[in-house]
Homo-oligomer: A and B are copies of this chain.
Amino acid sequence: MSLFTAKPSETVSSLGELKLIAAIRRWLGSASPATPFGIGDDCAVLPASPRRQLVTVDPVIYGKHFDDSASPRAVGEKLLKRNLSDIAAMGGRPRAAVVALALDASISTRWLAAFYRGLASTSRRYRVPIVGGDVSHQTDGFAATLTLIGEVYGNRVLTRKGAKNGDWIYVTGALGGSILGHHHRFTPRLDEGRWLAARHEVRSMMDLSDGLAKDLAALTPKGSVPALAAAAIPVSAAAVRLARASGKTALHHALADGEDYELLFTLAARTDQAAFESAWKRKFPSTRLSRLGRFASASFPGHLNLHAIHGYEHLR
């Protein structure tokens, strides 16, 4: 379905502001709670909570994050899921979201309805109400920016800082080739993130959005390098398929491709890894876990050279 329409009567601008907002509430349905906890006042109101709050924001932009080949439903789902993945990466739980739309005059109402229905279905699945937003006109294109409020479960916020030299590096799932479908179909690792944040041997965590080779730098302690073996990298079937067409290796795709939305985390050096890994297997029998290597003082021949690989670079 195309984002744009040439028929004026099928555009969102033909609805006007008030009817468009009423339509958005209808499309969201039960995903949009009643005022003052939802759309319709100057601010949305969230009930008090005794916990530390988490805030993250990520958009989907036409021509950048999706094009006419994407289903509008999938675009709406992805908008919320990419933000859920950030909450998962801190070991938190999501609470509520607001969405700001910037639309040009020729956006199709049908497209937007399907987009909101996708957003609403993900909102219900993860129990994250859409509590507010904004609709603005812009000269060209479509951007939807979602801000997600979450909170920590216990006393602990698991950040990117905390790994030490000698610590082990783990990743969930399989990597690379996300563009072939995973970037829409992925499941944010909320349950895994919560479980990991509660274990004190886990020292740091993030979600993979720009590719392992680039993202791992954020967890690497000063004076250390990641010593990874190529055989330990969980290469996805999509990365293998993509490699057939791209002329690059499947391993390259696993290291460099963006949008894996998997959890990358580190385990304190002295941890009993076998015990940790069996505990994982009992708790998450269907989520693959790979030990990639550890942080070391220097790299040795046989280790992967991540510097040679460029992850996804924004604004280039």
Contacts and interface: CB of A to CB of B under 8 A. Distances in A.
Interface in A54-72: 54-59, 61-65
Interface string A276-315: 0000000000000000000000000000000000000111
Contact of A100 (B58, B105, B206): B58
Interface in A32-82: 35-36, 40-59, 61-65
Contacts of A157: 36, 45
A159 to B, nearest CB: 5
Interface stretch (A139-147, A225-233, A235-243): A139-147
A51 B53 CA distance: 12
A103 interface: yes
Nearest to A150: B43
Contacts of A105: 315
A263 B17 CA distance: 22
Interface residues of A, number: 72
Given A207-B42, A316-B13, A56 B132 contact: yes
B16 A149 contact: no
Interface stretch (A83-91, A119-127, A168-176, A247-255): A83-91
Contacts of A45: 52-54, 90, 152, 157
A20 B56 CA distance: 19
Contact of A47 (B44, B52, B55, B141): B52
Interface of A: 12-13, 15-17, 20, 35-36, 40-59, 61-65, 86-87, 89-90, 92, 96, 98-100, 102-103, 105, 131-141, 143, 145, 147, 149-150, 152, 157, 159-161, 206-207, 313-316
Given A48-B49, A57-B145, 8 more contacts: A12-B315, A45-B90, A47-B52, A48-B53, A57-B134, A102-B143, A103-B315, A137-B314
